[in-house]
Amino acid sequence: MPVQLYDRIKEITSSTGTGPLLLDGGPAIGYRGFNGVVPSTQPVPYVITHGIHWEIGTGFFDEPTNSFERTSVSSSTNNNQLVDFDVGNKYIFIASTSSVFEDMINQATNIDGGFAN
């Protein structure tokens, strides 16, 4: 299933570790939250930041638990693996990552033999 982008989604989480992130801090000021916007079954590209640590990948929002499941990591400050986040607030947001653009280019080059002229 292709990933979907949504505008201005950014939330705060205080979750720790490498598991699902409970979106317990609400939307960041000036942004929307995942709940009510992002369907539970839709993969989305995400970025998580916490101080000097960050993670970029694809995951799923789980509406019933208000949590985010990180399913694949494309790059991170932990050698491109899940970051074991420590105590403190982290931002998680939907972003147009390089892997999203690479997938779009690959899909476009496979349609009718290539790009339209």
Beta-carbon contacts of 36 under 8 Å, excluding residues fewer than 6 positions away, are: none
Q: Residue 105: what pLDDT?
A: 61
Give backbone dihedrals phi and psi of 41, rounded to 5 degrees, phi first: -95, 0
pLDDT band at 95 (very low <50, low <70, confident <90, very high): confident
User: CA dihedral defined by 73, 75, 77, 82, rounded to 10 degrees?
Assistant: 10
**Domain range annotation of the chain:** 10-109
d(C-alpha 9, C-alpha 98), whole Å:
18
Q: What is the pTM of this model?
A: 0.82
Structure tokens at 46: 């995400």
Residues 40-59: tens digit of each pLDDT: 988 999 999 999 999 999 99
- Amino acid letter, residue 41: T
Give backbone dihedrals phi and psi of 80, rounded to 5 degrees, phi first: 60, 30
Residue 45 near residue 99 (C-beta atoms within 8 A)? yes
Least confident of 38-47, 66-75, 83-92: 38-47
